[in-house]
Chain A
């Protein structure tokens, strides 16, 4: 149907009353050009994101440690809770941690692509688009907090979970990571919340004992992360992240690793005083802490990080002088796992025997 022209004075082209619509000039694409554009879009690997890539967005290895510490907090809280709701709480902690990780990857996609350690991540490698990762992480964050609130209506566990996600994504990833070498000290608190969340889910409270578990992980995070940073300094420098070895140098980092270790080891023994851990925990925490300090001392006396040029063969192509840092990093994971596993097993056995 042909539209009749209506003459209206002083009306500009493109307004609703104009008879001449204002259109953006469209390039006249040939059939072949259009086909090429579509082919490029269909061939784009970001359109091929597989379920496995979305699972990798959740950082499963970090998620497993978070779940483990959260479960430990829940079990040793000795709260009377429905086992099904307990499983839901652990599930929510897992999904919440995964959501935070996905949002972190979405924000840090370009930075991750510059680092050897992280360049194969889904967003960095282009297998998942940034927007998809944002949507994925955002939806999971919302659903995990909502489900936690549904299962535990007092709101403490859900609130702490929401706080953890916001803390990690906003405070650590967006604000601290690129601004200060203390990024991992302050931001590491996000990884320390799960046992408190588990405890809050079990009892509805977050007493001092829960915060002791928080303190153990909080103080463990800097020596753990800086030990890794000592032999991956070049990676962080290339990405422009002011990790401690990049910002303050290797010598200062080695000293701070030792100082944090000296503070962390006694704090890890506090559960004994608060009757959270028994004889086995005492042995594990004292001996493990002593060995941790020994390894930290070896790092301090070494020259780890002085020549940060890494090899291209693999992420673990560590120069000989940085071997002490690698050993400390590896032991730190074993140490934290052993501490929480001992607490868990002791409480489980005590519960079975009582």
Chain B
């Protein structure tokens, strides 16, 4: 620690409250945006998974149909 460190003035500095308020507002929006992004990624993953399940079902049905067609021949 250095000697004779300057004292930091207290909250009576004008403009600090407005600065802190603006900062809080920005932080709130950043937090909300991050949360929204996480939710969006979740739902996109769910949509992709349901697409994958649907495609698997379709390809299984097609394979089954092809096998039964070749058996009947």
* Chain A residues proximal to chain B, CB less than 8 Å: 28-31, 34-35, 38-39, 41-43, 47-51, 54, 82, 84-85, 88, 143, 147, 150-151, 153
A48 to B13, CA, bound (A): 16
Are A147 and B22 in touch, CB under 8 angstroms? no
- Main SS at interface, chain A: helix
Are B40 and A88 in touch, CB under 8 angstroms? yes
Are A38 and B22 in touch, CB under 8 angstroms? no
Minimum Cβ distance to chain B for residue A46 (Å): 10
**What residues of A have a CB within 8 angstroms of the CB of B51 in the complex?**
82, 85
**What residues of A have a CB within 8 angstroms of the CB of B23 in the complex?**
47
Minimum Cβ distance to chain B for residue A218 (Å): 31
**What residues of B have a CB within 8 angstroms of the CB of A43 in the complex?**
14-15
Are A50 and B25 in touch, CB under 8 angstroms? yes
Beyond the given A147-B44, A151-B44, please list 15 additional residue pairs across the A-B interface where CB-CB is below 8 A. Answer: A38-B13, A39-B13, A39-B16, A41-B19, A42-B15, A48-B22, A51-B25, A51-B26, A82-B51, A84-B44, A85-B48, A147-B40, A150-B41, A150-B44, A151-B48
Are B7 and A31 in touch, CB under 8 angstroms? yes
**What residues of B have a CB within 8 angstroms of the CB of A147 in the complex?**
37, 40-41, 44
Are B13 and A35 in touch, CB under 8 angstroms? yes
Q: A85-B44, A147-B44 are in contact. Are A47 and B22 (CB under 8 A)?
A: yes
Minimum Cβ distance to chain A for residue B70 (Å): 28
The reply on B63 being an interface residue by CB < 8 A is: no
In the complex, number of A-B residue pairs with CB atoms less than 8 Å apart: 69
Q: A31-B7, A150-B45 are in contact. Are A42 and B26 (CB under 8 A)?
A: no
Report B19-50 residues with CB < 8 Å from chain A CB: 19, 22-23, 25-26, 29, 37, 40-41, 43-45, 47-48, 50
**What residues of A have a CB within 8 angstroms of the CB of B22 in the complex?**
47-50
Are A48 and B44 in touch, CB under 8 angstroms? no
Minimum Cβ distance to chain A for residue B41 (Å): 7
Are B26 and A49 in touch, CB under 8 angstroms? yes
Q: A35-B9, A50-B22, A50-B25 are in contact. Are A143 and B37 (CB under 8 A)?
A: yes
**What residues of B have a CB within 8 angstroms of the CB of A54 in the complex?**
26, 29
Minimum Cβ distance to chain B for residue A33 (Å): 9
Are B15 and A39 in touch, CB under 8 angstroms? yes
Minimum Cβ distance to chain B for residue A51 (Å): 5
Pick the residue among B9, B19, B26 that contacts A34 (CB under 8 A). Answer: B9
**What residues of A have a CB within 8 angstroms of the CB of B18 in the complex?**
42, 48
Pick the residue among B9, B16, B47 that contacts A84 (CB under 8 A). Answer: B47
A34 to B16, CA, bound (A): 14
A38 to B9, CA, bound (A): 9
**What residues of A have a CB within 8 angstroms of the CB of B50 in the complex?**
82
Minimum Cβ distance to chain B for residue A208 (Å): 27
Closest chain B residue, CB of each to CB of A153: B48
* Closest A-B pairs by Cβ, 6 of them: A42-B15, A43-B15, A42-B19, A35-B9, A48-B22, A42-B16
